[in-house]
Structure 1
Amino acid sequence: MNRITNNAFNTNNKDMKIYSYLLGILLMAGVLLSCERDYQAPPLTEPEYTGTEANMTIAKLKSLYATISDPTLIDVDYIIKATVTANDISGNIYKQLYIQDETGGINIGVDQNSIYTDFRVGQEIYLHLKGLYMIVYGEQLQIGYAATNANRIPWEVFNYYIFKNKWPLEENAKPKTIKLSELNDDMVNTLVKLENVYFPDGGKLPFSDTDATTNRTLKDGDGNSIIVRNSNYADFANNLLPEGGGTIVAVLSKFRADWQLYLRTADDCQNFGQPIPGETPTEPGEEVTVYYKESFGTKEITESVKPKIAEYTEFDNKDIEYSDASGVTDVRTTKTFNTPHLWFPAKKDAYLTIKKVDTSAGANEKLALQYELTANLFDAGSEMNLNAMTVIVDGKEMPVPDQTVSNANNDNNKVYTVTLTDIPAKKDLTIQFQAKASLNTFGLRLDNIAITTAPEEVIVIKPKN
């Protein structure tokens, strides 16, 4: 009897535990459902700056520290109000934030990756400057810190000095449309737009080499050029440069005397695929056939001793022979002409001989030789004639007419296109360029040699458009 009672008690006790357990699950589920049903995300609050108003502009700040050479502490309560114009969203800009107000732009070195997640393009900010430093890098001023890696501001310190105001609006970061011929130091580190420009290596080369930051050349239709500097860590580094003409939006920078552009993203290359600026569109039936073309490559010449023709390996045509009997003509790039070209030094006999050019396919065509020539007329009062460059084709001296150029006429570094007709069509053509010491008084630059079908209208010497 007792055993039956105990068994009944044990059974009831077990049932009670099961019941209690199930009841607990139901209550917990109810609580969870109730919590899930009642949960609301905390509201996002638009950032609002309530501190002291701005009392300094970027242009004024630069003028105050224009003469510094070492990191200099800002010990005055300066406050700047500005807009973020560029960040590190693509990886092309590294640990930098570019800001701009109505007077100019400046970059801030910040020791942090993925700054873009906190500071979007178009974000209005107030930057308290007292306690930060003015830094000089590449002869340009920037805001940074002292005794840190690359003088960058530590992230925690940076967030102590900078304040957001309102939501970021990308349209607040408006680029200014400029021309390459109008660059000035007031534009340094500002967001700019360049229309009707093109990459000479469009469709041929990627934005960057795989192992290092790479300079690519951007040109306009007037022969002006500028460096586009691309990081091999950019998410568009492996993309081919766009073909044809188009528009670039970028941060305009300067390193010492070299103007540079920094793309923020691949989307800063806009509307490419248009006709290349400066080229005259051909009418139907007037297509030009190219039988030979030499641009001397695209690689920047960084060596202090420039390579002579016999040493140079970056010619476009590997099956053509290039030589210089004088041994003084070299290949170089400069700040103004940042793609390779030949330099014929002043007051020296200098040569270029090109052999094994095949124009035989143009036997039924009228052929023309074109090349670009520039006189180095840096000094006031300098003047010379472009026919100082003699051209001999297949043993015959070509008639190069007079074209006097001078510093007074703003011809220094002006590119002229020379067109010579009656070029033979043959298998093994030799072309010689000879600059005589007695005539080449200031130095000549030779570039972009081509043999093509002759245009209908031949203008022998004209400024390059």
Structure 2
Amino acid sequence: MRKLKSIFLALGATALLGACSSDRDTYDGFDHSGKNTVSFATNIMKSNIATRATDTDWTKNDAIGIYAINAGGQLGDDAIFDGKANIKHTTAVGGKTAKFIAGTPSQAIQLDGKTSIDVVAYYPFATTVTDYKLPINVKDQSNPEALDILYSNDLKGVQKAGEASMNFSHKLSKLVFSVEPTSDYPNLDGLGAKDINGLKAEGSFDLKTAEVSLSGDVVTLQPKVNGTSVTAIVVPGQKLDKTVSMVFTLGVEEFTWTPKKDFDLTSGYKYTFRIQLSKDGTAVTLNPDGTIEDWTEGNTDGGVDVVTPGGEEPNPQPGETMPIADFKTAFKNATYEQPVLIEEDITISGIVMSDDEQGNIFNKLYIQDKTGAITLFIKNGELYKEFKVGQEVEVKVNGFYVTVFGDVAQVSDAVQEGGKWKGMPIEWLSIKDKITISNTQQNPFAPKVLTVDQFDQSLINTLIQLDNVEFEDAGKAYTEGGKDTSRKLKTVDGKTVDVRNSGKSKFATEILPKGKGSLVAFLDYFRGTYQLTIRDLNDVKFGGVTPGEEVSVDKTSLSFEKDGGSQSFNITASETLAWVVEGNNWLTITPNTGNGNKSVTVNAMANIGTERTGLITIKGGYKDVTISVTQTAGESGQPGEKIEVINETFGVNDGKKLDVKFGDFDSYIGFSSKNVKISNKGSRLDIRARSSVMNYEKLAWLPAYNPAYPISPENPAPTLNISGIDTKGMSNIEVSYSLSANFSGNTANANYVNVTVDGKKLTVPSKEMTAADFGNKYYVVTLKVDAPFSELEFTTDERNDVGMRLDNIIITGTK
């Protein structure tokens, strides 16, 4: 049996709990006259991450039972040491690590340094254990944590201070069914499972012999379903044979599974079967021999501490609120390379100071108390819906990590990949119940008014205010090209500091104000440089441009015929005033930026649909100026006529190599469809042309899935999004596109590329693609769409192990 948990027995109150003198009185009769308290501490290595019985973290109030017996003896009444039989130890906190504390000091195991003991332990704790046997009943699978039995009896000859490992192992068996999609059933959403028939569910576990005994009758079990994984914990010592069956459900259809061979269910083993659903109502086992392995969890970094009371506990006491400044000091040893796990039961509290509604702050919650401020890295892009600025919150941080990003400490999660640590956002469901709003009144701290010379590390993440400052790039947008952008803020004495703006913020294209004013922002720090982060434009307290620096135009409207064409208007502005012109995606505006007086040309694309309207906005002056645009309907809207809405080829094949990296995607102007917006949604999709691929054919490249970069909001799946599509009033709508792949010896499938219209997923038929057939030519997919839509999106997922090429996207319909 492989190691489940490595638990170390630390002896000696001096080492763990502080020195204990013989003349010190303590509560509940706890004896400090020469005996040492035994405390169980964990050291679980991080190499094999998982946690307790059912792949979940330890939970508050979990309990284990411990027996101390005379060394060399067999578990039984005559061998119990000092009456320490079935002593309950409970954890007051949860998470990947936990401390277990005996109920009262008198229950603590103490040694005099001469007597040796052995230790037997089990989980979960049972109040009554008759004849050293634990009852087993797995009928109710709804709470697997309550079913599994963990057991340890390898801690021998404990006599004096030191450390010795205790290894827990599973004593029941586990069935795992992994259901895979097929061409008949490509979508497994709503998969269910029921009625495991042919197995007994009751028995007992003998703590003396570590053996499981069966009892009771054969029953029907209801397994646990999680997505496409179905699991059940079962009693070992019986056969998994053709008398055993289970039913999978998908919609109204049912599929019956029976094993293709016999298995002897063995204690501590997990049996995994790969399943596909068949049209004949059966569930086909792809691996009839199953995958049989030790059922191990080994969260080998952190785990269980079993601590008996009686000594002095380290600060802070469990449940106490720790000032933020003290918390940051306590975890000052955290580094980028080595995060620190928060094992103690610590609560921090503070006032919520951040607001992420405008998108300039993402996945971060700034909280501040009288001593300092800190951020919580949380996977939730709409924290403003949960917490309002000024509300007071309490956060239980045990089980999370202190990580360092850009030289600044934060509370987050962390993973180890390839031997290196990486800070990760905390899943919202993992932290939502650990954050309590203790005061719903909104009483935020006033920003600290500072000068640049007063910036200090103790003020990192604090809301501050700088007065009498101005933007060096006044008149430009907050960001450039949809990318994160730093703008210099200059003080009256000539010092500068960066204001960091997100390319995904709602004010990314707004214009930086001119003149002097005040700026409220969070004081942040990145790799040796202070920088500022605003929440929204309410933090920018400038008076705007001065009178006389306004923009005016000589036209208020433009009108185009169905065939499109060109018209112009004139901008009048001071020579120092910078302006930006924005318009609809079927309009091309030249120039779209400038200073002073200019003539601007507007080109409208031909209209193939109904009459449409648009708007041109000129920004940069004290107020925005707008020009309304109209275009008459196209003639291609005759009843029954097939219309080509778009035909996107990613540009004309000019026989040259092309590389438009994903970070530069939004700046690419070579798209063949001008009346729509095309985006990679911040993903790693790019545009390329190669001599070896259809002789420099321009296409979209969807790279293969890399397990080192799992798909997440921060690392979205390769995506091509086309919006602004006009299919109103159309029927018989079809979407067609061309696919190829970078085979490299592997095969691909056309359904590796997912397609959605207005968020609704279309069914892509399965089509195996090989290098022999499609190595240097396209496979064309045509999908029917049952209703008009305005947005089309292509994505890939973890199945894409080759890299897919996408080209020639055509949408047609009938008016």
By percentage of residues, which structure has more strand? 2
Normalising to structure 2: TM-score of the pair?
A: 0.27
Normalising to structure 1: TM-score of the pair?
A: 0.46
